Amino acid sequence: MDPVDPDLVVVEVVGVRRHPTVDENVVLLLDPDSELVVPILVGPHEAGAIAAAQAGVVPPRPMTHDLLRDVILAEGDQVQRAAITRLEDGVFYAELLLGNGARVDSRASDAIAVALRFGIPVLCSAEVVAVAGVEVQREDSPDDDVERFREFLDQVTPEDFETGDEPGER
């Protein structure tokens, strides 16, 4: 939680996905506490910038978000936080808070791309998560199945299998 604004929660940038029905890119933000995912439509350039930062790709020449990071650092400042602050008429609004106290209005996609480059968490308004978040549909992984089976083996006894009948007589 952000000490400056208790309404903000830390979200995980799950990644960028191609939305299958509208042929657009979606960045997915997960609030692990509520298990809600906030999908944000982003342009192809922003999607590429977010995906590249997540993958640790360093371009041979700085891209726009890299340049912004380099300028901020050259001025002796830092980005303290990147936060998605509100949602109005389907548009996500964000801001960057600089170390000098300046607040800079930002598109959500740009705030996420900058946060990834500074290695800082992305924050999101709890209200935005509640309004725009969708429930996570978790599929059991093979590891989950193995763990459940191990728990079963730890608790089962030979008597649990005794019925008094020979196999096939039931």
Output the pLDDT for position 163: 54
Q: Which residue type occupies 147?
A: E
Q: What pLDDT, on a 0 to 100 scale, did the predictor assign at position 72?
A: 97
Query: Domain range for residue 44?
Result: 8-158
pTM of the model: 0.77
pLDDT at 146: 73
Mean pLDDT, the chain cut into blocks of 10 residues (170 residues total): 71 89 88 94 92 92 94 96 96 97 97 97 97 82 69 64 53
Report the domain count for the chain.
Answer: 1
Q: What is the pLDDT of residue 6?
A: 75
Q: Is residue 163 part of a domain?
A: no
Both tokens of 121, joined, read 């968490």
Output the 3-class SS for the chain.
Answer: CCCCCCCEEEEEEEEEEEECCCCEEEEEEEECCCCEEEEEEECHHHHHHHHHHHHCCCCCCCCHHHHHHHHHHHCCCCEEEEEEEEEECCEEEEEEEECCCCEEEEEHHHHHHHHHHHCCCEEEEHHHHHHHCEECCCCCCHHHHHHHHHHHHHHCCHHHHCCCCCCCCC
Report the pLDDT value the prediction gives residue 2, as an integer from 0 to 100.
41
What pLDDT was estimated at residue 151?
72
CATH code for position 123: 3.10.690.10
Q: For 107-157, how does the pLDDT look when each residue is reduced to its tens digit (9 = 90+)?
A: 999 999 999 999 999 999 999 999 999 998 766 666 676 777 677 666 766
CA distances from 64 to 45, 46, 50, 76, 144 (A): 10, 10, 12, 19, 41
Report whether 109 contacts 45 (CB < 8 A).
no
The torsion angles phi and psi of 18, rounded to 5 degrees, stand at: -90, 120
pLDDT for residue 147: 73
Report yes or no on 1 lying in a domain.
no
Residue 170 in any domain: the answer is: no
